[in-house]
Structure 1
Amino acid sequence: MRVERLADNKVKIFISYDDLEKRGIDREEMWQNGRKVQELFWDMMEYAYAEVGFEVAGPISIEAFTMPTEGIIVIVTQVPSLPLGQYEEEDGDDQEETFEVQVNMTSVVVVFFDFEDVIRAAAAIGDHADIKSTLYANDQKYYLYIHEDEMEEEWFESVWTILLEYGAHSNVTKAFLDDYGKVIVDGYPFLTILRYFS
């Protein structure tokens, strides 16, 4: 497990699939919010507090980025307190803090630093060039957003390995790309690239 403080109200935590296996948690179970997953989350929060002083107090937002071969990146953000319903009081006892947690499962984004690398990746993928994705341009870089349903395919791990030969995993979200990026090709960008640049 590794932790990095991104801002006063935000931390990034990486947990490998080996770490999950040692805790008896498989990849699919990670999204089911069971007892073991809840225990893992609070262990992560204790670790984040010990390592970088990040303390959970009030509502938080959680973004989880799955990486096919390495593990899972969890970004925890402290969000402004809600004006109402933030605390509960029962039978005159002290007020007890409650948490609002929003979990957003997002797909993988790969960044390419040159369009030639995008062309090379398309050629290298070959038979799986029909992977459903969206190619964006932003700040002289190219971002490939891969749709979630593609990540469930048996062949995706080999595709992911090829993509990382020509690009790098990015923590940029689809929402950011939609707001600030320019869509180059939506749907099957590698097929389009091979059609014009093969």
Structure 2
Amino acid sequence: MKIEKINENQIRCTLTREDLESHQVNLKELAYGSEKAKKLFRDMMQQAQIQFGFEADNIPLMIEAIPVNLDSVILIVTKVEDPEELDTRFSKFSPYKDNAQAEPLQLDGADNIIDIFQKICEAKMKSTTRKQANQKETSEKSAASSETPTVDLIRLFSFYHLDDVIAAAHGLNGFFTGKNTLYKDSSDGRYQLVLHQSEYSPEEFNKVCNILSEYGSGRAFSAAGEAHLKEHGELISSSALQQLTQL
């Protein structure tokens, strides 16, 4: 069980196949809430408290459960001081389902994470089906209007530390695989991530930008600005988000 502290109010826990097997739990049991699954979540929160002093008693929590594959899952747990912010903040953490599906998640303890995980898994399955249908419709429209020029939006995100870029890459968890390049600005030492819309829809690209804005500051960018950065900046990676996720 790997637990990482993102900041004072947020942790990320990766549950691998080995973690699930050691607790004799599978993903289906996580979704439907067996006693073994509840014990696993209690152990997770207790470990977070011991390692990082992450106190979660009587504090509203926002949970994002991201099934990575059939054998592992990532849980992002966020303490929310102002419950009224739940709707807004949760929408930024959820690139895997439409904003219409996002809802505030307030938990009183680890046992209740089970119910939330089930809801998110069900919503993700519906979102995947809907996304596949949308992709098919988009493909058909693209074939019918192949002469229509495409638009490739560009955004620039600045980070003070490389660890912030790594955290952002893990926050996306492989959702974005489009064109992105990381430079180090020699003038101020900041890390500059140039992000292209690529094949993503404006809505999907906006969700990616929302997540990255949790870790760095973003703004609109241009091809001319990117050319200047290529000439005067230090190239770190031509596919940073994909590579840094592996760290």
Looking at secondary structure, tell me which structure has more helix per residue: 2
**TM-score normalized with structure 2 length:** 0.39
Which structure's residues are more often strand, by fraction?
1
